[in-house]
Structure 1
Amino acid sequence: MSVPVKEVELDKTKQQFIESAIDNGVLLFGQFTLKSGRISPYFFNAGRLYTSSLLAATAEAYATLLTSSRIPEFDILFGPAYKGISLAAITAVELYRSHGRNVGFAYNRKEAKDHGEGGNLVGAPLKGRIVIIDDVLTRGTAIRESLEMFSNHPEAKVVGVVQLVDRQEKGQGTNLSAVQQLEEEYGFPIEPIIGVGDIIGYLKIKGGWEKEVESIELYREEYGVK
C-alpha cells in the first residue's frame, strides 16, 4: 500500500529555495547511501550552502518559517555545532533585516575552551525561550545533545526546532520518524522549511522530472511515515 505524500501548493519562498538548491547542487537526485544504509533517490547536502545567494535564500526561508508557522514566540536562536552555527547566525540577521525581530544568537563548541571565557557555549546567555536551528534531522542526535546542555540552564526552555529538510521517513525499528519521536517525547513543534512532499510537488510543477518523482515515491512506499 502506497504511503500518501501530502502535496501542498508551494509558496514563492519554498519554490525559490528548492530551485536554488537544485541549480547549485545542494539537492541532488540519483542513488545515495545514507547513514542508515538505505539507498535514497535524493540527497540534501547542506555543506554546499556556501555562496552569498544560497545563504541569502536559506536565511529568508528560515525567517519566513519562523514568522509564519506554529513555532511560538522565542528569544534566542541556538545553532548546534557545526552546521547549525552559520544557519542560526544568518537567520538571526534576516529576522532583524526583513522582519524587525531582534533576537539573541548562541551556539556550542564541540570541545570546551579551557582559556579566555572558557566553556563550550558562546553567544547569548541561555535563558528564555529558545528555538534550535538544524539542517537535516536524521536521528535527532544534535537536538538531544543540545537539550542535555540546556539541562544545566534552568532558565532556558526550548519551544521549537526548525530544520531545512524533513525526509519524513521511519527510523530503524519504528514506524515513527525522528521528528515524530522528538515531538512526542518533548512536546515542542519541529517545523521544516521543506519536506519530501514539497520536493515532489515542485518537480511535478516544473515537469521533466518524472523518473525522479517515481523513484522518490517508490522509496516513500517502503520507508515513508504517515
Structure 2
Amino acid sequence: MEEEGVQSAQQSRLAQDFVRFAVETGVLRFGEFKTKAGRLSPYFFNAGLFDDGAKLGRLAQFYASALQASGIAFDMVFGPAYKGIPLAATVAVELARQGRNVPFAYNRKEAKDHGEGGSLVGAPLRGRVLIIDDVMSAGTAARESIALIRAAGATPHAMVVALDRQEKATENGQDVPYSAVQYVRRELGLQVCAIARLADLLQYLSAVGGDAMAAHRARVLAYRERYGVDDDSEGDAS
C-alpha cells in the first residue's frame, strides 16, 4: 500500500509538471474553442504546437515517464497519422536514450502504390503494440489503428495519450455516458495511459491562483459539469 501511495504521488507530480509545461508553452490554451463534437470548450490542447526540438524532447520525456509509472508492457510503438507519427518517433528515441530500444512504425493516410507500397512504414508490426497519440476525442483513430495492427498479425495492446479530457464521447452526433478513453478500455480491450487528465488541469488552476486562473477554472468546471464523465468509472491507469 505504501508503494502504491508513492507511485500515485509521483504520477500526480508528473501530471502537474506536464500541465504547467503545456500551459507555459502555449500548447494548452484558454478561451472558447469548438471541438470536433461541436461543443464550445473553455480550453484547447494542440499538440501541433510542440513545434521545436526542445519542446518535443521534453514531451517525449513526459510520455516515457508516464509509461514507466503505468507499468504497461509493450514490444513496439505505433504512431497513427498524422500527429501520432512525430510523437511515436520521439518517444522511441527517448526510450532508447533511457536504455530501452523498441521498434517503431506508423501508417500513411493513403496507401503508397509504388516503391515498397502499402500504408505501413517502419518496423514490421509484431507482438504487443503500444499506440501513441495526443488527445483521444471519439476513439476513431484508436479503432483505425487497431484494425491495421490486427491485419498485420500483431496485438493492439495499449494506448498512451498526453491528455484525457474526461468528457462524454459522441456517437452519431449524440452524447454517450462514457468517455473515449473508457470506450477504448471497455469495448476495445486496450490498456490506456494518460500523462494528465482534466482533473489534473483543474488542480493546476487551483494551485496557481489569481483572478485569471480562477475565471478559467470556473469555466472549465462548468464545462465538466455539462460534459464530464464519472471519475469512478475511469479505471486505474492515469
The answer, yes or no, to whether TM exceeds 0.5 is yes
Structure 2 matches for 1:21-170, cutoff 5 A? Answer: 21-71=22-72, 73-98=73-98, 100-154=99-153, 156-170=154-168
Report the CA distance between 1:116 and its aligned residue.
1.3
**Aligned residue number for residue 13 of structure 1:** 14
1:175 aligned counterpart, secondary structure: strand
Report the CA distance between 1:132 and its aligned residue.
0.1
Deviations 1:176-196 (A, max 9, x none): 111111211122211111100
1:190 aligned counterpart, secondary structure: strand
**Any unmatched runs of 5+ in structure 2?**
1-8, 231-238
Total equivalences in the alignment: 217
- Counterpart CA distance in 2 for 1:45 and 1:186 is 26
Distance 1:197 1:101, change over 3 A: same
Percent pairwise identity: 50
User: Which one of 153, 169, 172 corresponds to residue 171 of structure 1?
Assistant: 169
Q: Which has the higher contact order (CA 8 A, sep 6+)?
A: 1
Q: Is the 8 A contact 1:17 1:57 kept in 2?
A: no
Deviations 1:52-98 (A, max 9, x none): 22111210010011111042x21110000000000000001111112
Deviations 1:27-47 (A, max 9, x none): 000111111111111000111
**Aligned residue number for residue 4 of structure 1:** none
**Aligned residue number for residue 5 of structure 1:** none
Higher helix share: 2
2:142 aligned counterpart, secondary structure: helix
Q: Is the 8 A contact 2:167 2:179 kept in 1?
A: yes
User: Which one of 208, 214, 236 corresponds to residue 210 of structure 1?
Assistant: 214
**Aligned residue number for residue 187 of structure 2:** 185
1:102 aligned counterpart, secondary structure: coil
1:212 aligned counterpart, secondary structure: helix
- Counterpart CA distance in 2 for 1:183 and 1:144 is 12
**Any unmatched runs of 5+ in structure 1?**
1-7
- Counterpart CA distance in 1 for 2:204 and 2:52 is 23
- Counterpart CA distance in 2 for 1:213 and 1:56 is 29
Report the CA distance between 1:14 and its aligned residue.
2.9
- Counterpart CA distance in 2 for 1:171 and 1:152 is 26
